[in-house]
Every structure is written in C-alpha cells, then in structure tokens.
Structure 1
Amino acid sequence: MVLISAVRDYVNRMLQDISGMKVLILDSQTVSIVSVVYSQSELLQKEVFLVELVDSISKSKEPMSHLKAVYFLRPTSENIQHMRRQLASPRFGEYHLFFSNLLKDTQLHILADSDEHEVVQQVQEFYADFVANDPYHFSLNIPSNYMYMLPAVVDPSNLQHFCDRVVDGIAAIFLALKRRPVVRYQRTSDIAKRIAQETSKLMYQQESGLFDFRRTEVSPLLLVIDRRDDPVTPLLNQWTYQAMVHELIGIQDNKVDLRNIGKTSKDQQEVVLSSEQDAFFKANMYENFGDIGMNIKRMVDEFQQVAKSNQSIQTIEDMAKFVDNYPEYRKMHGNVSKHVSLVTEMSKTVEERKLMLVSQTEQELACNGGQGAAFEAVTNLLNNESVSDIDRLRLVMLYALRYEKESPVQLMQLFNKLASQSPKYKPGLVQFMLKQAGVDKRTGDLYGNRDLLNIALNMARGLKGVENVYTQHQPLLFQTMESITKGRLRDVDYPYVGNHFQQGRPQEVVIFIVGGTTYEESRSVALQNAINSGIRFILGGSVVLNSKRFLKDLEDAQRTARSSTNLV
C-alpha cells in the first residue's frame, strides 16, 4: 500500500479541505498520477464535477465563477506559463494551486506577480511526482525513454532533461516517504552514476533542509541501476497474469485498451486492472496462466449462481433485495466479463503466435546452457512460418546475448537468416543491442556463470527441474535483492556517492532502474517483501516495459545515434 497510500493521501488533502463544487485541472503527467489511485466515482464524492487538462483550459473563455479550481501540476516552465495566462483573466471563483514537486523561487514570483485579481487561495508542494502502479512499484512514464542509451555528446540538452525528470521523481518518492537515503549506483553505467550523483547533491546540498528527516538507525538505501545490465528480462514472453497482459495486450496507467479486440461491449472497451479496485486481480496478478484459467472458471461459476438466484424474483421483497444488491451484481458481472475477455484474447494470441513453443526456447536461452541445441532450436523457429517477426527477432537477440563470445559464426548465420525472413527488422538492431548491453558492458552475473554459488544453484535447479518450464527465469534484480538482504552487494560494483555510507543492513531500499522496469521484476519485489526478511523493497523506473516497448527504445536510440553527427 505504501506508494498508493502516499499519493491518495496527497489527493485527499487537496480535495477534502476545499468545500463546494470543484474543477480538477491536471497536466498530461499528473492525470496519470491521479488516475491510478483515484476513481471517477471517488472524485465525484469529493464534489469534483469536472476534470480538465491545463492546456485545454487555456483555450476556453467561458466563465465558471461558481466553481473552485484545484490545479495539480508538475512544476515545469510550460505549466507556469499556462498559469500565468490563466490568472491574467480568471474564469473560476477561487484558485488552489498544488505542484507535484519543488517549486523554484523564480516560479513562485511569476505566480505571485500574475495573481493581480487575488484569486489564488493557496500554493503548495505535494510530492506525488510518480505513477504508483502497485503498492511497491512506480514509474515516471518518460516518453523519450531511449535517451538513457545515448552518450551525452549525442543530445546533451535532451539527456539532461531526461536526468532531471528522473532526479525529480526519485526526490518525490523520498519526500513522500520522509526519508533521506544513502545513494549507490552501478559502476559500469555512466547514466546511473550521473543520476545518483545529481540526486545525492539535491538531497545533501541543494535541499538538505527539506530532506532533514528524523534519522533511522540505518539509513535507507537508494540503488540506481541500468536496464542494460539485464536486457534479457524485457525480451521474454511472460506467463504470470499481470506481466502477460502487459506483454500481449498492454497496460497503461493500470488500464487496458480492448477497443481493437473482438466484440467488446461499450463499457468494456477500456478496463481497469488495479490490485486496489479488483479483488480477483489482486489475488491472481502473480499467478501462472494455467492457474488463471481455473480461477476464472470458479469465478464464472460463482457469478452464475448469483445470477440464477436473481432470476427467481417473485415478490416485492425479492425485487427490493435485488435492487439493493444491484450495484454489487453489476460490478461482479463487469469483473467476470473483463477477466474472461482478457484471458480469451491472450489464449488466442498464444495459439496464433505459437508462443508456448517460442517461450520454451526463450527460457532455455535465458536459464540453461547448451549452445549447439540452442542454435538448432532457434534456427527451427526462424524457419517456422507460424512464428511472427517480432518473436524471431527476440529469439535471435536472446541467443546473441547468451552466446556472443562463444559462437560468432553461428550468430552471423542467424543474423543473415533473420534479415532474409524478417526484412522489417534489420539485423543491425541486434548488433546495436550487443553494443549497448553485451557482456563487456554488464556488471551483474546475468547468467550465473561467474559466481560459484550461482553455478551450484543452477545445477541443483537443473537436476530437480522446475515446476513450470515457462517461468524458470528469474530477473537479475532477484539476485541484487538477495545480495542486499545478505549484505553482499559489492562496493566495487555498486559504489557509494560521496561520504555517505551504510552502517549495517538497511530496512528500506528503493531500486531505480534507468531505462524501465518490467512486471516480472515488480512480481519479484512483491514476493520478496511477502517473505518478510526485515527489508522493504520498492522498485521504480523511467517506464514500465514490455518487449515491444524495449525494442522500440532500441530502434529509437539506434536511429538517433546514426543520424547524429556528434557521435564519437
């Protein structure tokens, strides 16, 4: 609950102390921040009768002096200019201004100078500058996410903008949690180092007074790592419910767009998948796909029983009882319909793209050795006409990541085959990915080859088998959390920023992945927190990835790098 509660508390404080009819005005990012923690009906209960975007308010001239305007915006220069123009000719009776992060003094002065009509009642900073997807998982929804792959010389101003947004988001997390952490970063990543240093500078120098919270016995830890240290996880097909929905259909701000899927009713064209609002999803979000089918059948059976009992309405009392229970009945009907639609669509995609066949080879590439067998399996799948272009590309990438040093000749054969069979995806993209995230660039022991303990664990797992061949893979993040829990995170690989070191094992850890998180990783964090090791982990990233988004980021970075004349 920790992140969702923090943002909900801020939204509550914005709305409940202002009586009367209100309009809530958001920007393109705060609309995501609010929508994942607050439903439309909850906003209505707070007397919010209108929700508008700040740029569309600028275009309208209609006076609404009977409404009180509650603004919740990111403190960007663009939003300050919107406010300046809107305060010059106010449309609302009162203005209550809330910003999701630190306001600069110059911005405050602009707001004060613009309020000639004295309609502004308050200006406050509420540190909810992140999207709380799940209780322990947040995202910053950064559109130009590919920037993290580019050297500073390619596009310095956009890269700085990217870094500033990440630092703002991390700062807001710790201000919301009322903590100041010690900061560590992945040594092999320039971008992780830069963000860690800028975050530490903000917390310990520029805004040290603001972050001077009551000390805990052991300081919390912020660990900044790079997506490229584990490029395997976002390339894999997923077989647990939440991760699979994102991989095969897509989740944006806890909503799933079903408009292009079969025949869906009007009220099911966009559905909410939130562990806070949907008990079935909360209970099943980390379950395997096979178990989901059984659990949905059980839910359908329960609903049919309820529907049957509602059909036997014979008396006025029966009718009154049904009317009382109707909202619950309608909600249950919507929930059953939603989950049946999702699972039906995913089953269809799995069959069409032969994903069970593809995924078995993916898992072998990610988890087990055997280069000869892997080459044969990938070659066979490249020759299979039922396998889609995107799946062929991912298979070659997974093979390349695993065997780039061992089998350059076979790798070139796969590049050529991919080029001839999937012309849409150029083999140059695989080589660009190796340049970005190949073995020479990575810090962690991605395949468990270097650490004797990992080798032993992998052998043991191979001997006794795993319960589900499709969910063998564990993200590198799992090992990182284990190292932190056991006090084994090596200083040489993950140095501290400045002179702020940790004395003992931290009780709170925020791991931020520059370049994006996956729902497989957020599942690992939730399961780790559930075993109650005495450490609470929170995971954050610049976006939430699926394989499609990860590949798009690679393509965007490759295109930008090629077109740049500054590339060295």
Structure 2
Amino acid sequence: MVLVSSVRDYINRMLQDISGMKVLILDSQTVSVVSVVYSQSELLQKEVFLVELVDAISMSKESMSHLKAVYFLRPTSENIQHLKRQLAKPRFGEYNLFFSNMLNTTQLHILADSDEHEVVQQVQEFFADFVAIDTYHFTLNTPSNYMYMLPAVIDPPNLQNYCDRIVDGLAAIFLAFKRRPVIRYSRTSDIAKRIAQEASKLMYQQESGLFDFRRTEISPLLLVIDRRDDPVTPLLNQWTYQAMVHELIGIKDNKVDLGNAGKFSKDQQEVVLSSEQDAFFKSNMYENFGDIGMSIKRMVDDFQQVAKSNQNIQTIEDMAKFVDNYPEYRKMQGNVSKHVTLVTEMSKIVEERKLMLVSQTEQELACNGGQGAAFEAVTNLLNNESVSDIDRLRLVMLYALRYEKESPVQLMQLFNKLASRSPKYRPGLVQFLLKQAGVDRRTGDLYGNRDILNIARNMARGLKGVENVYTQHQPLLFQTMESITKGRLRDVDYPFVGNHFQQGRPQEVVIFIVGGTTYEESRSVALQNSLNSGTRFILGGSSLLNSKSFLKDLEEAQRIARSSNSVV
C-alpha cells in the first residue's frame, strides 16, 4: 500500500506501451494526479511533447495527425461530452483513452457510438483518482470543501456531488490496492456516516464483483472520520519543515508559489517540494525549524566545496569532468537556492507576526490545563499591536474550544475584545465553530481528559517533559492510530457499517478525514509507520488544510447557513 509508486505505475503503463510522439490530455483534476508524481523531464523521456487540458483541446481546431493522443480523465459526464465532440472531428492520429475510475455502461456506449472514424485504439480504467502527495498521504482536492461543516438542517444540492467525489476517491484507493475493506465511521458525524454507508454500498452491492479480490485473513480497515472531531490541529502554527511551509506560504500539489513573497528570480517563483524528487527535503521534511537551519548550513557548505573544485579547472580532463558533472551541479545549485529562499522567507514571516510568542500560547492551549493563565495570555496577545488579525482569531478559537464549558463570562470578554481589535472577521465565527465542532459534537477524547488511559498518558508526557515547546502538540489522529494498533478503538464511538466486523488487529488501515488533512497529521502517520507496529496506515482527506483554508471553509459554511435562515 504505497501511493506514489501505485500512481506512477499506472502512468508508466499508459505511456510506455504507446510508441512515438504523444500528446497527454488531462482534466483539471488529473493534471494534479500526474504532476505530483511525474516531472516534465520524465514525460519527455516517454516522448510526451505536449500536455494539454481537455477543455482547451475542444477550443482548438489545429490538426496534429502526427501525434498520438493519450487521454487521462476522470469519468465525469462533462469529460465524456468533451470526448464525444473531439472524436466527431479527430485532430490526432490515434486516441488512447484512460479513465481514473469506473466507467458506467452508458458512458461506454456513448464513446463507442462517437468513434465513427475508428481512431480509438483502447479504453481502460486505471484507478488513480486521488492525488498522492506523499508515500502514505493523499488528497482529493474536493471542490466546495466547506460542505462538511454545514448544519444538518441544510441539504444543499451540491452536497451529494461532494459525497460522490469522496466515495469515488475511496473506491479508487482500494481498487488500486486490490482490497475490499471493512468500514467504520465517527459516530457523531452525519456526513462521515453517509460517506461510509455509500462506500459500503458501492463495494459490497453495486460493484461487488469488481471488489471481489482474494480474501486476506484480516480485512483492511477504512475509517471515515470528521475534521470537526479535531478542529485544533488545523488552527495551530507549525514548526516542522513541510507543515511550516504550507502554513506560512502554502503548498499546492507539491508546488510552492513564491511569486508574492518577494523579489525572487523567475525560476524561483514556483518551486517543487517533493520527497520523491528532492533528497534533502525527504530527509528533513519532518524536522523542526531550528534543526532545518543547521541542515541548510551544512548543505550550503557542501555546495561551496563543490563550487570551489569546479573553479579549479586546469586541464582538458578537468574540463571533461566538469561537463559530465554539470547537470548534477546545476541541480545541487537549484536545490540550495530553493531551500535557502524558503527558510529566509519563513524566518521573515515568523519575525513580522511574532509567531514564536503566539505559538507558545497556542501550544499551551492545545496541550495543557490552566484556564486562568490561558485567559491572561490570550488577553495580552489580543492587546499586542504586533499580533496579526488571523493570529488573534486563532487564539480565541483555541481558547473557546478548550474552555467552552468552563468560563462563559471570560469567553464573552474575549469575543468582545476580538470584535474590537479585528473587526474584519465575520461576527459570530467563533460561536459558529463551537456549534459545529464543540465538545458536544465531537467523537473521541480531543484533550485526553475523559479517558483514564489518556489522562495517564498525558501525565507521563508531562513528567518526561517535551523536547520542543513549539511541537508538543499531538493530533487526535495519533491517539486514534494508537487505539487501532492496540485493538482498543471503541465500537460505540466508531461503529461498523452493516454486518461487517473485524476479528483481530488490521494490518492495513486507510483513515479518511472528511473536511481535510494537515501536514502535521501526515507526519504522525509517517512516524507511526516507521515504528513497524504490524499495522500500516494511509491518510487521506477531501482537502489539504492550513489555518487559512480551514478558516475560509468555516466562513463560507457560516455564510451559507445564515443565508438559509438556519440558527447559527
């Protein structure tokens, strides 16, 4: 169950069996699927000389009969209509059609009827309907991600599309791995239950033949949970490399846009951060910010040594050696420049927003008790002119989530203070968060103070101390994985769908978070898998979150709820 190699294998099979010059035609979602696992140079090696979007191809009329078209599309009705129009007036010498998920019979008939010129060479299903961010982490980049936060009384027309996209993505994951899982979900989440039941219906009834793989002794587990069970993790500042880049600058499909960050050269305005393509990043993606600075210094020192030896060219042999090593030298130079640029930019943001001061209070709110001290710390930061509006909002949210039942008077004081200091945020946003993700709505023990085992674990952590005050927080996902590996995930909190149960501890687990994952959680999964506990975890989500995108989803859900005259 390794995501990146699974998708790469599908793309290799698409491209290597078709000889000659090719054009690769993608849609707005499969372009992300391909770009995170395949570089431009690798596509060129497979004789792909042009990459186009399917809707752009529809606009063009230029004949390219010398090229063979390789289409890789999601099997949507919109894409089928694009193909129908394009097959009516073929521009390419031949058409090879690959779909990232299951085609239905109607769609196959439409394609067959449209191929009047007999240019279609093959139609295949290659189950790569997800974006493989890392080895054990995928996202679906689902549009309208705020849908999961809407109050249950609202049933917007797009909600079914949102659920269908998630079910399709989950089906593709298990078809790619040739597995059929037992399915569980968060008891308190209507949308997690709905998705779990629809996925079960697809795998065990509608397409049971397709999922009828050789049985394993213990079935894999699909656990569908709700982002609202842990609203704390996406609200926190991050201090490990990958998570920090996403929080402060933003990562989209393993690319970082530095266009607005400063005066960088054109080739540095968009950089790739991929553990598959960058050995330094792979080694340091989960390291904390202080250690990253030291690692980059060593990388710069190494590069300077190489650069110095390259300046010492005296013979023909030296020149030949330099020419042979030049591509590697250029790659090393680009890598050094990229990481120095990223760390420099993040250091500037940390200083401007006083994030070390802010983050210390955030971590205290997330990890430790002490309501009186917390109120004083948050009040002081709200009054601090150097603290940004978004940081003030996050601090009040973290305080509200922690102490919603303990200090209503002081909570109201913080609401009023926030409204006067940061008026641009929509009134009632913190209260809306509490209604959607407060203690009465959550499954699990977010703060580890209800369950005897969690209380003991927190005491043990407190006695041992924490290596870094800025990275002491552990997502709720960490506890969930620990419960699964020890066979302690409670049926009452995470019921099974249908009559399917699990005897023994699962060896393969996919945890899907409706509402989105964070890089802090993907780090927890990577660390858990490195323990070789006998259970291998994969993490997936409808979106990839940082605090800005989480708050944007919250604001959009609140806006729709208000316009629907719901009580919020």
Shift of 1:265: 1.5
- Is the aligned partner of 1:164 residue 2:148? no
Q: Letter of the aligned partner of 2:334 in structure 1?
A: G
Partner of 1:57, secondary structure, is helix
Contact 1:415 1:427 in 2 (8 A): no
Hey, what's the Cα distance between the residues in 2 that align with 1:151 and 1:358? 31
- Is the aligned partner of 1:382 residue 2:382? yes
Aligned to 1:307: 307
Runs of 4+ aligned structure 1 residues displaced above 4 Å come to: 565-568
Equivalences for residues 366-381 of structure 1 within 5 A? 366-381=366-381
- Is the aligned partner of 1:264 residue 2:299? no
Equivalences for residues 511-526 of structure 1 within 5 A? 511-526=511-526
Q: Letter of the aligned partner of 1:425 in structure 2?
A: Y
Shift of 1:153: 4.8
Shift of 1:155: 3.9
- 1:126-175 deviation per Cα after TM superposition (whole angstroms, max 9, x unaligned): 00000000000000001200001124552442000000000000000000
Partner of 2:277, secondary structure, is coil
Aligned to 2:284: 284
Q: Letter of the aligned partner of 1:190 in structure 2?
A: D
Contact 2:151 2:436 in 1 (8 A): no
Contact 1:24 1:52 in 2 (8 A): yes
- Is the aligned partner of 1:82 residue 2:82? yes
Shift of 1:567: 7.1
Aligned to 2:344: 344
Hey, what's the Cα distance between the residues in 2 that align with 1:172 and 1:237? 33
Contact 2:136 2:538 in 1 (8 A): yes
- Is the aligned partner of 1:188 residue 2:175? no
Aligned to 1:214: 214
Aligned to 2:467: 467
Hey, what's the Cα distance between the residues in 1 that align with 2:318 and 2:164? 61
Hey, what's the Cα distance between the residues in 2 that align with 1:508 and 1:43? 32
Aligned to 1:562: 562
Shift of 1:306: 0.1
- 1:367-401 deviation per Cα after TM superposition (whole angstroms, max 9, x unaligned): 00000000000000000000000000000000000
Cα pair distance change 1:287/1:100, threshold 3 Å: same
Hey, what's the Cα distance between the residues in 1 that align with 2:562 and 2:91? 48
Hey, what's the Cα distance between the residues in 2 that align with 1:415 and 1:80? 51
- 1:511-549 deviation per Cα after TM superposition (whole angstroms, max 9, x unaligned): 000000000000000000000000000000000100000
Q: Letter of the aligned partner of 1:173 in structure 2?
A: I
Hey, what's the Cα distance between the residues in 1 that align with 2:337 and 2:529? 31
Partner of 1:231, secondary structure, is coil
Q: Name the TM-score, length of structure 1 as normaliser.
A: 0.99
Hey, what's the Cα distance between the residues in 2 that align with 1:560 and 1:567? 11
Contact 1:418 1:427 in 2 (8 A): no
Contact 2:143 2:162 in 1 (8 A): no
Aligned to 2:506: 506
Partner of 1:512, secondary structure, is strand
Hey, what's the Cα distance between the residues in 2 that align with 1:390 and 1:39? 36
Partner of 2:275, secondary structure, is coil
Higher alpha-carbon deviation: 104-113 or 223-232: 104-113
Hey, what's the Cα distance between the residues in 2 that align with 1:372 and 1:204? 53
Hey, what's the Cα distance between the residues in 2 that align with 1:520 and 1:27? 30
Shift of 1:457: 2.0
Gaps in structure 2 of 5+ consecutive residues: none
Q: Name the TM-score, length of structure 2 as normaliser.
A: 0.99
Contact 1:219 1:502 in 2 (8 A): yes
CA RMSD of aligned residues (A): 1.0
Q: Letter of the aligned partner of 1:92 in structure 2?
A: F
Contact 2:426 2:555 in 1 (8 A): no
Hey, what's the Cα distance between the residues in 1 that align with 2:253 and 2:272? 9
Aligned to 1:407: 407
Gaps in structure 1 of 5+ consecutive residues: none
Equivalences for residues 523-538 of structure 1 within 5 A? 523-538=523-538
Aligned to 2:69: 69
Hey, what's the Cα distance between the residues in 2 that align with 1:48 and 1:308? 38
Aligned to 2:298: 298
Q: Letter of the aligned partner of 1:281 in structure 2?
A: F
Q: Percent identity?
A: 90
